[in-house]
Amino acid sequence: MSSKDNILKAIRNQFVESVPLPSLDQDWIDYEDRVAHFAETLESVGGAAHVVQSMEQVQEILSQVPQYADAKKCVSTVSGISANVDLNTIGDPHELEDIDFAVLQGQFAVAENGAVWITDRDVKHRVIYFIPQYLAFVVHCPGDAASAIVSNMYQAYEQIKLTGEAEFGAFISGPSKTADIEQSLVIGAHGARSLHVFLVENQTP
Amino acid sequence: MQVALFVPCYVDQLYPQVAMATLRLLERLGLEVVYPQNQTCCGQPMSNTGCWDDALPLAQRFLETFAQYEYVVAPSGSCVAMVRNHYDELLGGQPGFNELKNKTFELCEFLVDVLKINQLSGSFPHQVGLHQSCHGLRDLRMGSCSEIVGPRFSKPKQLLELLDDIQFSELQRDDDCCGFGGTFAVSEEAVSCMMGQDRIADHLQAGTQILTAADMSCLMHLQGIIRRENHPIKVMHIAEILAEAVEPGSMKSVAVTEAGKS
Amino acid sequence: MSSTQDHPAKAKAFVANNERAHWHDKALWFVREKRDRMANSLPEWETLREVASEIKSHTIGKLADYLEQFEENATKLGVHVHWAKDDKEHNRIVLEILQSHDVKRVVKSKSMLTEECHLNPFLEKHDIEVIDTDLGERIVQLRDESPSHIVLPAIHIRKEEVSETFEEHLGTEHGNSDPKYLTEAARGHLREKFLGADAGITGVNFAIAETGGIVVCTNEGNADLGVSLPKLHIACMGIEKIIPRLNDLSVFLRLLARSATGQPITTYSSHFHGPLTGGEMHIVLLDNGRSDLMGSNEFRNSLKCIRCGACMNTCPVYRRSGGHSYSTTVPGPIGSILAPAMDSKANKSLPFACSLCGSCTDVCPVKIDLHHQLLTWRGELRKRGQLPIDKWLPMKVGSWVMRSPSLFAMVGSIGRFFLRNMPRWMIYHGLNSWGKQRELPEAPKKSFRQLYNEQQKNKPQAGDKNNE
């Protein structure tokens, strides 16, 4: 008998009373001002949120971010943001090791924890979310900024539609961090050292 | 209303003034209090050590001794928790057991939930540090604990707050364990004593004059450290505070008799 | 590593360094307080715990079905799913995958399961270099120690000691113990390891039956970097990590980081559905005693554990005795339940490394009745005849005495007499563990029973109800 059969048999031999699966649709927290709560929470985890009306404004703000302005190598997967490395021409992801700044698409944001949902659906190398020194996400909002922000994680998962094909997705909340040395918080462990999130209002993605 | 006094074994032997205070307080509140002479120990030390076989005859004796009374009240959250939360394994299904479980109360619970005491005339002009004994807190839910999200309350504090002129210590850790833990106090002596020393340090920084709790076992451990280290903190069971406040001088005779050499 | 362990002795050694034990206690209490602030920021906290517990109960009841569903869906996504009965089989499977890809260097993110299986030494024996990439785990690995906490592996190590370790291994400045500087040094050192790795190994926080995906949570981004550069990803998980639905994650991700470190969510909550384009992904499902635990009505609930570590942060014993005092892969309250299930004789002191304060039970995000299970373990040890005589004999004698009120009264008064009248040196000696740092109570001359009966004699109208 294979280990699989052995394990399944061992499990099925145990009598465990079955209990129903609870409903997830409960009275979860809803924030009156999702934009403010998101911005506040993101700030508390080391990131920064910006509500803007156009991609030009994103570019303008970025130009004043020293890490972007001084970046030698920059990747962007968002149209309207200038960059000097085209992800699609890179064959081996290891070549991305010296990317200084990346501006990437975020799908939507979560107020309760400051996270942005990202996927690698149209991104050739998923490591681009983790390897750059500094990072910015651009989230297109169909209406005002609140239209791209859900209050809680239940609503967040209701938004996620998987394709059924191989894919990667993540909630990313702020820049990479660690507190493994004496509980001292240090920003910039292995991933990005900073994270800007732009909520661009009235944009069709 | 008739109440049977359940006096934990170590209180009977080592802290008779605590049981006496409980008795006086309940009588003062107009209750008919009896002390069933057949009681010994609830069996908690045995069950906490895993020796359920040794606890069983004691649980059986407890049921036989107390089943006939209207209420059973003890100045100990821990021993009441044994009856209410752990006797099921020993006595589950026996006639009278469910009734016994439901009519056995820790003193503060009894005063707040059954007697619904909302005023006490008495004064206690001291700064009191309330130690929240774990079994009362988390097994009997005599108060809200810091882990659970919800409304804040404390039955022992609610009672103490009825007294005039009383002040409370603001602790850095509201409900960290004192480290008594029954046989834990001996088998894990090093950790147990460090836990106790840390609690006392918290009370010292808060300016506690009188350290109190609803369980004498925690206080026995803490008092042992206080006396060894000569700290300026006096230890009183909450029954002693309440009895002394509502009937000033009533506890002195007992205390003098007990502490003094005859 | 199942040699006979003695928690009190190791705890005593840890406590002996009083300053350090207090430093350790404060560091963990700081995390506990952060957790409290986060929990209190959600009015639905207790509902979340309840729902999480129910999801886990339901899943355990249908575990075989969900495992099969998970395998089917993962396979559709192009994942290779393996089943391992025990640690040996687990390690063999991982080794075979690595060898078939000619892997020489592996980067691994935090996985308590690979610690449980002692995968690192096994792979190293087969000439495969394994680098732990979580900063805390890397510190511990360089020092040739084991993690002392499941979420904060290096919580027992001071920054000065990290500085010494990094100076030796990474060439950092002598005497510079600034956490920022040391973290930056580790970042540079581990970047090279990420770039040079042939494969990445991760643990699994949750595996979704409905989609065949797995979720890995980190703050550092080390799991993601580790499996997004090399083409080969191996994920190792215990069979209890399954959850039925994608949206069940909403409940668990809301609880996990808040309980673990007091963050609203981990920085990275990565959902892997299938391999990288052109890559390969393997998932190894491990039983290793879990199916046995399922059969136990008393201890089944321990399988609900999501490894947040909150029970360790809150445990007044763990905080003061340090994770290594438990001598197990998973220390603290949950470890003291899991370890005896694997080997009750070797771990018999662990269910007693607990004052039964119950804080762990109330802090647990999936509502495992931890302190009740520890109490139940004590009874189980007694049944198995594994309690030492100094624990059970006093209870037997005590029970015998307490069966008779008159015997109890007599023994009590003799005891009090000696306590009052014996010279101090006869009471406070090496065998009196209580009296090492504490005074014994001052013994009164009379018990309550005596006082009460005297009082009743003086008040003949009262006390007629007394029996006996």
Per-residue pLDDT, C383:
97
Q: Is C17 on the interface with B (CB under 8 A)?
A: no
Q: Who contacts C141 (Cβ-Cβ below 8 Å, separation ≥6)?
A: C120, C131, C132
Model pLDDT, residue B252: 57
Which string of b and e fits A180-190 if b means at least 16 CB within 10 Å? bbbbeebbbbb
Q: Which residues are B130's β-sheet partners?
A: B212
pLDDT at C273 over 80: yes
Chain C residue with CA closest to A9: the answer is C64
pLDDT of C466 > 80? The answer is no
Structure tokens that stand for C95 in this block = 């080794």
Name the band, by pLDDT with cuts 50, 70 and 90, for residue B248: confident
Q: Mean pLDDT throughout C456-468?
A: 59
- Alpha carbon dihedral A67, A69, A71, A75, in 10-degree steps, equals 100
Report the run of H or E that residue B260 belongs to, with start and end: none
Strand runs (DSSP E) across chain A, as ranges?
A: 48-52, 74-76, 101-106, 108-110, 115-119, 134-140, 149-150, 167-172, 177-178, 186-187, 195-200
Q: Hey, is the C-beta of A192 within 8 angstroms of any chain C C-beta?
A: yes
Residue A17 confidence class, pLDDT cut points 50, 70, 90: confident
Strands C232-238 and B2-5 come out as: unpaired
Q: What is the DSSP letter of A175?
A: S
- pLDDT, mean of residues B200-212: 98
Subunits close to C (at least 3 CB pairs below 8 A): A, B
Would you state the pLDDT for residue B259?
Answer: 36
Q: What is the DSSP string of C100-135?
A: HTT--EEEE---HHHHHTTHHHHHHHTT-EEEE-SH
Could you tell me if A25 lies within 8 Å of chain C, comparing CB atoms? no
Query: Which chains border B (3 or more CB–CB pairs < 8 Å)?
Result: C
Residue of C nearest to A131 (CA): C225
Distance CA A168, CA C79 (A): 13
pLDDT of residue B10: 97
Stretch among A16-20, A126-130, B59-63 having the lowest mean pLDDT: A16-20
> What residue of B is the nearest CA neighbor of C359?
B147
Q: Is the pLDDT of residue C93 over 60?
A: yes
| 8 Å CB contact between C58 and C300 | no
User: What residue spans define the domains of chain A?
Assistant: 29-200
pLDDT band at B251 (very low <50, low <70, confident <90, very high): low
Residue C9 reports pLDDT greater than 80: yes
Tell whether B42 is within 8 A of chain C (Cβ): no
Q: Which tens digit of pLDDT belongs to each residue from A44-89?
A: 999 999 999 999 999 999 999 999 999 999 999 999 998 999 999 9
With beta carbons less than 8 A apart as the criterion, state whether C270 and C237 touch: no
Q: Measured between beta carbons, which residues in chain C are less than 8 angstroms from residue A157?
A: 246-247, 249-250
Residue type, C218: T
Q: What was the pLDDT predicted at A138?
A: 98
Residue with tokens 């007394």: C466
* Mean local confidence (pLDDT), B22-26: 97
pLDDT band at C458; cut points 50, 70, 90: confident
CA atoms within 13 A on the CB side of C435: 13
Q: Give the model confidence (pLDDT) of C311-347 as tens digits.
A: 999 999 999 999 999 999 999 999 999 999 999 999 9
- Restricting to A residues 91-150, those with a Cβ less than 8 Å away from any Cβ of C are 93-94, 97, 110, 112-115, 124-127, 129-131
- Residue A159: count other Cβ atoms within 10 Å of its Cβ: 12
For residue range C105-134, list pLDDT tens digits in order: 999 998 999 999 999 999 999 999 999 999
Q: Helix C159-170 and helix C179-196: axis angle, to 10°?
A: 40
Which CATH number fits the domain A29-200, given the four candidates 1.10.3720.10, 2.40.50.100, 3.40.50.10420, 3.40.30.10? 3.40.50.10420
Closest CA to C202 of C96, C106, C338: C106
Mean pLDDT along residues B14-24:
97
Tell me which residue has tokens 């699989």: A4
- pLDDT band of residue A18 (cuts 50, 70, 90) is confident
pLDDT of C74 strictly over 80 = yes
The answer regarding whether domain C54-288 maps to CATH 3.40.50.10420 reads: yes
Q: Do chains B and A touch (3 or more CB pairs under 8 A)?
A: no
Check residues A203 and A65 and name the one with the higher pLDDT: A65
**Contact partners, residue B234, CB within 8 Å, separation at least 6:** B209, B210, B211
Angstrom distance (rounded) from CA A130 to CA C108: 16
Residues 6+ apart with CB under 8 A from A109: A38, A115, A116, A117, A139, A148, A149, A150, A197, A199
**CA-nearest residue of chain B to C386?**
B50
Task: State residue C468's pLDDT score.
Answer: 39
Confidence of residue C5 (pLDDT cuts 50, 70, 90): low
User: What 3-state class would DSSP assign to A32?
Assistant: coil
% of chain B beyond a pLDDT of 90: 94
Q: Please tell me the distance in Å from C362's CA to the nearest CA on chain B.
A: 6
* Model pLDDT, residue A15: 85
B71 contact C CB<8A = no
pLDDT(C1) > 70: no
Does residue B261 carry a pLDDT above 50? no
Please state, as a whole number, how many other Cβ atoms lie within 10 Å of the Cβ of residue C38: 22
pLDDT at position C462 is 46
- pLDDT, tens digit, 9 for 90 and up, residues C292-307: 999 999 999 999 999 9
Average pLDDT over residues B205-222: 98
What pLDDT is attached to residue C270?
A: 98
Q: Compute the mean pLDDT over every residue in chain C, rounded to the nearest whole number.
A: 95
Tell me the pLDDT tens digit for each residue of B110-131.
999 999 999 999 999 999 999 9
- What percent of chain C has pLDDT above 90? 96
**B250 pLDDT above the threshold of 90:** no
The rounded distance, in Å, linking the Cα atoms of B136 and C300 is 27
User: What is the rounded average pLDDT for all residues in chain B?
Assistant: 94
For C352-377, the pLDDT digits (tens) are 999 999 999 999 999 999 999 999 99
Predicted local distance difference test score (pLDDT) of residue C19: 97
Helix ranges (H only) for B168-207 are: 184-187, 189-206
pLDDT recorded at residue B256: 36
pLDDT tens digits, C435-453: 999 999 999 999 999 999 9
pLDDT band at C460 (very low <50, low <70, confident <90, very high): low
Contact call for residues C212 and C76 (beta carbons, < 8 A): yes
What is the pLDDT, as a whole number, of residue A77?
96
Q: All domains of chain B, ordered by start, with CATH?
A: 2-114 (no CATH), 127-248 (3.40.50)
Range of lowest pLDDT (A79-83, B66-70, B94-98): A79-83
Residue B202 pLDDT: 98
φ, ψ for residue B224, nearest 5 deg: -60, -40
